[in-house]
Structure 1
Amino acid sequence: MDNLELYLLISALLMLLSVVSSKLSDKFGIPALFIFLGLGMLAGSDGILGIYFDNAKLAQSVGTLALIFILFGGGLDTSWKAIKPVLGAGLALATFGVIFTALFVALSVRYLLDFTWQESLLLGAIISSTDAAAVFAILRAQGISLKKRLAPLLELESGSNDPMAIFLTVAILQMILLPESSSLGEWIGKFFLQFLVGGIMGYLFGILLPPIFNRIHLGHYGLYPVFSIAWVLLLFSASSFLGGNGFLAVYIAGIASNAREFVHKKNLIGFHDGLAWIMQIAVFLTLGLLVFPSDLPAIAPAAIGISLWLIFVARPLGVFLTLTFSSLSLQEKSFISWVGLRGAVPIILATYPFLAGLESSSLIFNTIFFIVLTSILIQGTTLPRVAKWLKVEESKESKVPEPSIIASPLLHHTLKQFYITKNSSVIGKSIAELELPSEFLILLIKREKEQIKPTGSTLFEEGDMLLIQCEDPALFRQIVRSFAPLES
């Protein structure tokens, strides 16, 4: 067996083990991220398979690519209507909350590791972002549903705080290596440029994707996911090339795309969710390989001290200071503080000092890795109990809809037939492309002897008979008028 086949065999086995072992998360509440990291460590140089891997550059490249699709998938699965009411609080946590957390963590690092203030701030910036994707996986496994505004707030914070942590890490690292290269004012300017360009690019690419999908009419469904992958990579690279934050851009693009209807939307969301899982498994296995477990005991006391400080002091202070004027209750703020679960991004960022040749890079990486493990174990395993203790769960009674009288029953007079005539303006167009209101439902299409259950990607053809449900006669007339034949 040559090397390629051996690598493919090991990769396949590790990925299958990761997927199967994720059942432990469902059954025992063990965070899946911890399992993926553990498998990577077992396969590494100090583990069972003894795979020697110390390529920080490759690990960072894998992490960057993975983060692109994890963020886009998270954005694509995020409802704009859900996050809109908590937009202010979410963005505040993603910016000021990250800064406060980094500053408070730096205090403990300065005295526990005897770092310089700049190195302490660097480690604080690296560990400052959260990974609530792991939190929601645990909550779903335990059957816990959070109160309405908590879930979208945590979702928004976790998806949008990574760009801030990345910016702070790069800025502080460059200040350490090139102290004369730029001033504080220049970095503030770069900050606004990155977030402005990234935000605009992400929004534009996000609102353009649905109409492109609705009009491109590709012959094979499999080409739509390919197009979306290329679109996301184009967005990230173009945004970064123009000086913007590519990670923020892809996350915003996902949210903006989700806010509009387009063909194969449900399937594409499912595809990118699966792709995000592949990326999470790949990055955690890679990062698990990169760490040498035999190096961890030496830094364990200091790392545990920093981790406990982060969990019980730095994160809560950052949350409460940021949300001082928020209407959230004390219990809700406390739960947000506890949901400061660390994940892939801090470990990916911990490779940056390696590539920059920083003298303390190995100590920083091992410390960050240990903190992430501690955070996943302590916060991840206790999350369901904390949610119940703080009473932030949605009550079961509120999930059961109360019996109500249907004001507008579906009567036969609300069902109407309409034929697509020759030269109709909608021939060759998809249902999603028309952006029909929710009150105008096409229930069935009869095409010759075939009866078709319509979807967003269904194209209209001449002679189609549409079975339409619409209670508003004026709305029905208005829409079908737009279906009229094109003037020659």
Structure 2
Amino acid sequence: MVPSLLFEVMLIGLLGIGSQWVAWRYRMPAIVIMSITGLLAGPILGLMNPEEDFGDLYTPIISVAVAIILFEGSLNLSFKEIRGLGRPVFRISTIGAFLAWILGSVAAHYIAGLNWAAAFVIGGLFIVTGPTVILPLLRQSKLKPRPAKVLKWEGIIVDPIGALLAVFAFEIITFLTANNPDGSALLIFFAASVFAAILGWACGRGIGFMFETGYLPEYLKSPAVFIVVIACFTLADEVVHETGLLAVTAMGMTLANMGISSVEDMRHFKENISMLLISAIFIMLTASLQVDTLLQVFDPNIMGYVLLMMFVVRPLSIFLSTIGTDLSFNEKALLGWIAPRGIVALTVSSYFASILSSAGYADATLITTITFALVFTTVVAHGFSIGWLAKKLHLSKEGRPGTLIVGSNNFTVNLARSLQKARAPVIIVDSSWERLRKAREAGIPFYHGQMLSEQTEYQLDTIPYEYLIAATEFNSYNALVCTTFMPEYGRTNVFKVSPYRHDLNGMGDIVNKVGGRILFRQDLSLDELNQKTREHYVFRQTAITNQYTYKQYLNEKDENTVLLYIMKPSGRMRYYSEELRVTPEPGDTVVSLTPPVKEKEKIMKRLENQRSNNGNNGNGKK
């Protein structure tokens, strides 16, 4: 065991964020790595048991964390995003959820051997996929926009529904099996659900009003929202357990659809908090499991139930609920397979296991075991298969990392051509149809629109592009674009052309320090890059080998050559910047903007050969 509670908190944080880093570094599902890490630290090696060590604080910590994670996910649920997806999402979240509940409950009774009370409770819990598992998978799998949005909306909408459905099932079963049935409990439950939704809406509108009217200073906005989320969840949860999830979902959706700019400003803060909480909570939950629980997972009835849920219940509920929608067969197949369960299922199942045991249901102790079995199996199976299956079904944007270029001009069009030759996805975005003429004539994919507009966010598919280059003639706009998209693309993947100009009188230093890394060189402005293309500079590819080393290439290249980027055999690429260290290795290809010396030499040699041939022909005639 760990020496102190403080040390355990530190260890949970290290293991959680360390698992996220390993998953990012080796391109693996983060939830799988976190689950395995938690099991190793907890029941397998016995380093810690957070549930015992935290005592009475364990459940409140988990509950508050789930509330914040769910709020952060629902903060992304703008109704504008669901345009064209309303019918499939509605069907899956209602008819599909109901079918999954009934089929899952029947399977839990006849296959897993649970009594009807426990079966209907666990059936309600297992309709939940949840943002804690879906959103990280979507970030890694690079699905096409439509199936990705359906999975995201289903996960966030159904998350509170599953918990409420479990509560509803428990109340119904308690009512039906009571010696003197009293319908007041059911009425209280429904009234509490309505209260939770209204409370969430009121909290969202209240915070939105304070943002819009300036009643909150900028430095208090994120902390205020943080506290109001906890208050909203707690107040609803104190009335009826688990209605707090509905309240924070309603609050997040209300804020997301009010069109408040401040929500966008704090969204990245919420994402960072959510990432930290997901990492810590997964470690805590898996580390708190008992060895007996792990051994029970291998019971044939439990394993059979898990397989039935994955291969029969989920696909059947999806295909039946989406009849008559415009989803393709491939999209239905993907949606029918991807349904990993996560934090909400684990936390709520432990609550119901305790109250069902208190109510005298002997097999209630199996609920935690079955939940863990389904959570771990689906997280592993779906986490490792989503990318492969998406490719097979042609629903993936996976491929070489692409580049999104803001600004159409001579240089960016030629840069895009070179990227196309390297088989890397590229698109040019510009608000001017006239400036886009060069891109259209060159056959470069383009988007006509303002990069910073809300409309572009919903219409432009940015999934294939890992790099962003701001290369317009307006240096302040380039800096603003980089600052806006830096949290989404990452600090090392956002570039802008150098704002350097001789007539700025030092103002270039100010623009230089705002957002984005300088592309290529500090002393190389867009005007100079465009001038080089007008002087017929060539975009040249040079292979680095063991025989022709990078050092030799640097020694032999023309002094006016501009190093642009390197392309690795795997398809990964790195742009040159004075702020980043780029060192090509044997097998890499260096792409550079080179003076047309070789081309001129070839032209001169061709002309000399023509003159020589003409001279010989003339001599022959004589």
1:73 CA displacement:
0.4
- Contact in 2 for aligned 1:31/1:134 (Cα 8 Å): no
Structure 1 partner of 2:340: 341
Structure 2 partner of 1:38: 36
Structure 1 partner of 2:151: 154
Structure 2 partner of 1:288: 286
Structure 2 partner of 1:113: 112
1:141 CA displacement:
2.9
1:317 CA displacement:
1.1
Structure 2 partner of 1:367: 370
Residue-pair matches, total: 417
**2:166 aligned with 1:169, yes or no?**
yes
Structure 2 partner of 1:430: none
What does 1:458-469 correspond to in 2, within 5 Å?
none
How much identity, in percent, do the aligned residues show?
22
What does 1:36-435 correspond to in 2, within 5 Å?
36-51=34-49, 53-54=51-52, 58-142=57-141, 144-146=142-144, 148-177=145-174, 179-180=177-178, 187=186, 193=191, 196-216=194-214, 218-219=216-217, 221=219, 223-240=220-237, 245-262=243-260, 264-300=262-298, 301-358=300-357, 359-394=362-397, 400-401=426-427, 406-407=432-433
Question: Could you give the per-residue CA deviations for residues 414-434 of structure 1, whole angstroms, max 9, x where no partner exists?
Answer: xxxxxxxxxxxxxxxxxxxxx
1:240 CA displacement:
4.8
Work out the CA distance in 1 between the residues paired with 2:223 and 2:203: 16
1:245–1:119 CA distance, 2 compared to 1 (3 A): closer
1:275 CA displacement:
1.6
Work out the CA distance in 1 between the residues paired with 2:167 and 2:34: 27
1:220 CA displacement:
5.8
Larger relative contact order, structure 1 or 2 (CA cutoff 8 Å, min sep 6): 1
- Contact in 2 for aligned 1:57/1:351 (Cα 8 Å): no
- Contact in 2 for aligned 1:202/1:251 (Cα 8 Å): yes
**More displaced, 315-324 or 199-208?**
199-208
Work out the CA distance in 2 between the residues paired with 1:182 and 1:347: 30
Work out the CA distance in 2 between the residues paired with 1:403 and 1:228: 35
Q: Which amino acid aligns with 1:406?
A: S
1:354 CA displacement:
3.3
1:315–1:323 CA distance, 2 compared to 1 (3 A): same
Q: Which amino acid aligns with 1:227?
A: A
Gaps in structure 1 of 5+ consecutive residues: 411-435, 445-449, 454-488
**More displaced, 304-313 or 232-241?**
232-241
- Contact in 2 for aligned 1:129/1:165 (Cα 8 Å): yes
Gaps in structure 2 of 5+ consecutive residues: 405-424, 437-452, 456-475, 480-506, 512-622
- Contact in 2 for aligned 1:202/1:249 (Cα 8 Å): yes
1:384 CA displacement:
0.3
Work out the CA distance in 2 between the residues paired with 1:57 and 1:348: 15
- Contact in 2 for aligned 1:343/1:372 (Cα 8 Å): yes
1:90–1:249 CA distance, 2 compared to 1 (3 A): farther
1:111 CA displacement:
2.6
1:204–1:401 CA distance, 2 compared to 1 (3 A): farther
Question: Could you give the per-residue CA deviations for residues 378-434 of structure 1, whole angstroms, max 9, x where no partner exists?
Answer: 111111011111122359899754788934779xxxxxxxxxxxxxxxxxxxxxxxx
Work out the CA distance in 2 between the residues paired with 1:333 and 1:182: 42
1:191–1:320 CA distance, 2 compared to 1 (3 A): farther
Q: Give secondary structure in 1 for the equivalent of 2:82.
A: helix
Work out the CA distance in 2 between the residues paired with 1:311 and 1:184: 36
1:313–1:408 CA distance, 2 compared to 1 (3 A): same
Q: Which amino acid aligns with 1:386?
A: L
1:205 CA displacement:
3.0
What does 1:10-49 correspond to in 2, within 5 Å?
10-49=8-47
1:335 CA displacement:
0.9
Question: Could you give the per-residue CA deviations for residues 434-454 of structure 1, whole angstroms, max 9, x where no partner exists?
Answer: xx999xxx989xxxxx9999x
Q: Which amino acid aligns with 1:288?
A: T
Work out the CA distance in 2 between the residues paired with 1:17 and 1:217: 40
Q: Which amino acid aligns with 1:22?
A: Q
**More displaced, 255-264 or 272-281?**
255-264
- Specify the structure having the higher radius of gyration (Cα): 2
- Contact in 1 for aligned 2:92/2:318 (Cα 8 Å): yes
1:409–1:260 CA distance, 2 compared to 1 (3 A): farther
TM (normalized to structure 2)? 0.59
1:12 CA displacement:
1.0
Q: Give secondary structure in 1 for the equivalent of 2:305.
A: helix
Work out the CA distance in 2 between the residues paired with 1:211 and 1:409: 41
- Contact in 2 for aligned 1:100/1:318 (Cα 8 Å): yes
TM (normalized to structure 1)? 0.74
1:261–1:106 CA distance, 2 compared to 1 (3 A): closer
1:99 CA displacement:
2.2
Q: Give secondary structure in 1 for the equivalent of 2:104.
A: helix
1:46 CA displacement:
4.4
Work out the CA distance in 1 between the residues paired with 2:226 and 2:3: 27
Question: Could you give the per-residue CA deviations for residues 183-204 of structure 1, whole angstroms, max 9, x where no partner exists?
Answer: 78984x6676455444444334
1:342 CA displacement:
1.0
Work out the CA distance in 1 between the residues paired with 2:348 and 2:238: 20
1:344–1:56 CA distance, 2 compared to 1 (3 A): farther
